[in-house]
Structure 1
Amino acid sequence: MAYKYVLRGNTYTFQDLKAVLAKASPQRSGDALAGIAAEDTKERIAAQYCLSEIPLKTFLEDLVIPYENDEVTRLIIDSHDPKAFQSISGLTVGEFRDYLLSYQANGDTLKNLSPGLTPEMLAAVSKIMRNQDLIAVAQKIEVVTKFRNTVGKKGHFSVRLQPNNPSDDPKGIAASIIDGLMYGCGDAVIGINPATDNPQEVSKLLKQLDDFRQQYEIPTQNCILSHVTTTLEIIEKAPVDLIFQSIGGTEKTNSSFGIDLKLLQEAYDAGKELNRGTVGKQMMYFETGQGSSLSADAHHGVDQQTCEARAYAVARKFDPFLVNTVVGFIGPEYLYDGKQIIRAALEDHFCGKLLGLPMGCDVCYTNHAEADQDDMDSLLTLLGVAGCNYIMGVPGADDIMLNYQSTSFHDAMYLRKVLNKRPAPEFEEWLLKMGIFDEQGYRKEIKDQLLKLK
């Protein structure tokens, strides 16, 4: 179905709904690379006006990827809750934006609405929202998850301690973990990207982390970010806490990752059987990123932000403990500069939270992007205000294995202090017990603690 909009005497024609979505997107290099972006600002504004007048129910009928061609589309449509959608079913995209920004739309109403929303509806409304709109709506929503501690409560802010090492050296990893713990990081997860996906090496890393956790009774969870098939191979022999997998928003994207919904279901069921959580049982950890579908030639002409939102439907099916948009990691071919990275992160966080997901963000960029640490400071602060559940904690903000720039342990301390946020409750109790933090959330003298943790 074609869509038309007349702007200042000029008629703009968009061949279908996915064309309206693509051309309404704020400027980003990935959509330009795919040849689907607006030709200029006038066409982008016309597409945004056109999009604002499209009824929300259209997104249940005019599918951006055909139902019969894509299992993610089938998941989105088959899991849609018409009862939850009923209260907004008569709204257009523009009216939906107004509703989201209203006082009537509070955390409870948005939580109840979530099962009735599709990723495409949220991608659409995000395209006609300013950055402050995305922040204002996302901060209303509290998504709480539990495994060995509780992540996502309002007033709290967590950190994935990321002690990556290019050779998986046990001493190097241990040093990074101790450093991070001294800054109150690691309550979201202590998660390592392994240098190799070899099952034996992954098992060794898991044992190292689990021995350390048990020795000091740390109320957190561990994860080696190996491929889900590797995790399934060792799951009955190694101390697996969280099960990790990168996911995308189309069946073809997931196929490029070597996964499908059936395999994720197998991993979910296997993880449930372990029953390793103490305060809860959510144990899936997913990572996503705008541009993954384009880089895999698996986007079907759909813009990269809508593809990203569709990945959240995959995540939602498996009730995850953590979801992380690794926003600037893929590179400037997809998000060219700091402005595009900041915008994409706020969109991702907004869409994920409204779909009921525990959203974190890797506030990051590659060294060949037109971005720097000042851009990341701005994004970090904006996400903190928006109610992001967690960020990464990387020694010196420089991941020496993955070769990209992220956020440091000090960055997490900064955000907690300026926004008066605290670590996960159970983890904060441990920090106090160990004498690492005081009651005001400040670090105590750590010399004795370093000796204790050697």
Structure 2
Amino acid sequence: MIFTIDLAANRFHFKDLKTLLAKASPLRSGDCLAGVAAESMLERAAAQMRLADLPLKHFLNDMIIPYEDDEVSRLIIDNHDKKAFSAISHFSVGDFRNWLLSDQATTKSIDSIKQGLTPEMVAAVSKIMRVQDLVLVAQKCEVVTKFRNTLGLHGCMSTRLQPNHPTDDPAGIAASILDGLMYGNGDALIGINPATDNYQAVTTLLHMLDDIIQHYEIPTQACVLTHVTTQIEAINKGIPLDIVFQSIAGTQLTNESFGVSLSILDEAYSAAKSLGRGTVGNNVMYFETGQGSALSANGHHGIDQQTCEARAYAVARHYQPLLVNSVVGFIGPEYLYDGKQINRAGLEDHFSGKLLGLPMGVDVCYTNHAEADQDDMDMLLTQLGVAGVNFIMGIPGADDIMLNYQTTSFHDALYIRQVLGKRPSPEFEKWLIKHKIFDTTGRFNQHSQIGPFAEVLPKVKHTLDN
């Protein structure tokens, strides 16, 4: 179907739906690299205006990747809830935006339609929204998940403690864990990106994380972010594992480049749930995504990177995850050139995931060769805090010495909690108060001592020596 619109004495033609979506996207370097971006601001405005008039029903009959060619497309259509969609089925994309911004769109009413939304609908409406629109609507969404604590409640903001080490040295990792806990970080997850996918190294880290959490009765969960097949092997061999991780994308081709398929994710999901290690719930999956991954894998099918990203959220939603993390600036300036593009993408991702019913976090980050700095990240962090982000990263000094990128620090979490009155998950906060890391009002205790963790490093050393 060709989409046509007249604007400023010009007639614009968009040959199909994926072209219309791509041309309507705010400018970003990845779409320019892929050759799908609007050629001018006027063409972008024309595409956005034409997209605003498009009925939401159209997205159910015009798949941007054909049903028979892609298992993600099949997942989207097969899982679509027609009853949930009926409440908004008469809307155009523009009508949907107006409704989302209205007082009629409450936390409850948005929750009631989420299973009726496809990722393409959500991507489309995000493209005609300003930054304040993305913040306002996301703030209305509440997505609560549980494992050993309760994440995503209004008024709370959690952190993933990321104690990476360039050689996977357990003592170095333990030192970072201790540092993070003493600043109130780690309620979303203690998650390590291992330097290698070596099975022995991974299982050593899993044992160490389990020892620390169980010994100190910390109401949190752990994960080692290795390939999902390595984690399935660990589960089958009885290794203590809480949360299964995998990077995912919005097309079958891109997921295949990651070495995964829906059937592999099905296996991992069933294996993790069977362990029953959660104490207050059993959301057991952790997914990471990022705009540009489909383009870098040559699996984008000519689709713009933000729409590809939204399709990844359909994959995540299928497995009722504990956490989903958009690692927004990690892939590099080839895909998001500068701080402005990173900020816009981070807010789009958070909005899209929340609207689809996902527990969204954002890794507020950039690579050292991007045109961005920590001031840009402070802006995105603050906007996401206002928007109700479920979690952010907590890394010593905001500098990941293993992955070599810049992100958010333990102190950044303290900042956003203080300035916006955010709190950790309730179970974790009680634990922090019990150990005098936070005071009884839930504020960071600057006079807290190493206290219950004095033996962490010696314990790790003893484990390694034996």
For Structure 1 versus Structure 2, the TM-score category normalised by the shorter chain is: over 0.9
- The answer (yes or no) to whether the contact 1:157–1:424 under 8 Å persists in 2 is yes
Deviation at 1:442, TM superposition (A): 2.1
Q: What stretches of structure 1 of length at least 5 have no aligned partner? A: none
2:41 maps to which residue?
Answer: 41
**1:17-416 → structure 2 map (5 Å cutoff):** 17-236=17-236, 237-416=238-417
CA positional deviation for 1:453 = 4.8
Report the CA distance between 1:270 and its aligned residue: 0.4
Q: Which amino acid aligns with 1:289?
A: G
SS state at 1:432 partner: helix
Q: Secondary structure at the match of 1:267?
A: helix
In 1: Cα distance, 2:402 partner to 2:101 partner: 42
Matched residue pairs, number? 454
Q: What CA deviation, in whole Å up to 9, does each residue of 1:139-196 have, x standing for no partner?
A: 0011000000011001111000000000001111011000000100000000000011
Paired letter, 2:405:
Y
Question: What is the distance in 1 between the residues matched to 2:158 and 2:296?
Answer: 30
Equivalent-residue separation in structure 2 for 1:434 and 1:120 (angstroms): 46
Q: Quote how far apart the aligned CAs of 1:444 are.
A: 4.2
The amino acid across from 2:135 in the alignment is I
TM-score by length of 2: 0.97
- Does the aligned pair in 1 maintain the 2:190–2:223 contact within 8 Å? yes
Instruction: Tell me which residue corresponds to 1:417.
Output: 418
Spell out, residue by residue over 1:391-443, the C-alpha distance to the aligned partner (whole angstroms, 9 max, x if none).
Answer: 00010000000000000000000000000011110000100111111022122
- C-alpha separation in 1, matches of 2:333 and 2:84: 39
**For 2:403, what is the secondary structure of its paired residue?**
coil
* Alignment-mate amino acid for residue 99 of structure 1: W
Question: 1:185-237 CA deviation, whole Å, 9 max, x = no partner?
Answer: 00000000001111111110000111111111111000000100000111132
- Whole-Å separation in 1 of the counterparts to 2:176 and 2:395: 8
State the secondary structure of the residue aligned to 2:358.
coil
Computed over aligned residues only, the root mean square deviation of the Cα atoms, in angstroms, reads 0.8
The 3-state SS of whatever aligns with 1:244 is strand
Q: Offset of 1:445 from its aligned partner? A: 1.6
Give the % identical residues: 67
In 1: Cα distance, 2:428 partner to 2:81 partner = 36
Letter in 1 for 2:447: E
Give secondary structure in 1 for the equivalent of 2:140: coil
Contact 1:26 1:127 in 2 (8 A): yes
Aligned partners of 1:309 and 1:292: how far apart in 2?
A: 12
**Residues 438, 444 of structure 1: 8 Å contact kept:** no
For residues 22 and 342 of structure 2, the distance between their equivalents in structure 1, rounded to whole angstroms, comes to 17
Match of residue 463 from structure 2 = none
For 1:181 and 1:434, locate their aligned partners in 2 and report how far apart those are by CA, in whole Å: 11
CA distance in 2, matches of 1:33, 1:85: 35
More displaced 10-residue stretch of structure 1: 304-313 or 211-220: 211-220
Deviates more, 1:233-242 or 1:6-15: 233-242
Instruction: Kindly state the Cα deviation for residue 452 of structure 1 after the two structures are TM-superposed.
Output: 5.9
2:57 aligned counterpart, secondary structure: helix
Contact map agreement 2:333 2:369 (CA 8 A) in 1: yes
Q: Is the 8 A contact 1:182 1:443 kept in 2?
A: no
Shift of 1:134: 0.4
The answer to whether the Cα contact below 8 Å between 1:435 and 1:444 also exists between their aligned partners in 2 is no
Q: Is the 8 A contact 2:184 2:444 kept in 1?
A: no
Corresponding residue for residue 9 of structure 1 = 9
CA distance in 2 between partners of 1:452 and 1:446 (Å): 16
* Structure 1 match to 2:454: 451
Where structure 2 has 5 or more consecutive residues not aligned to the other structure, the ranges are 458-466
Any idea what SS the aligned residue of 2:86 has?
helix
Deviation at 1:87, TM superposition (A): 1.1
- CA deviation vs aligned residue, 1:336-374 (integer Å, no higher than 9, x gap): 000000000000000100110000000000000000000
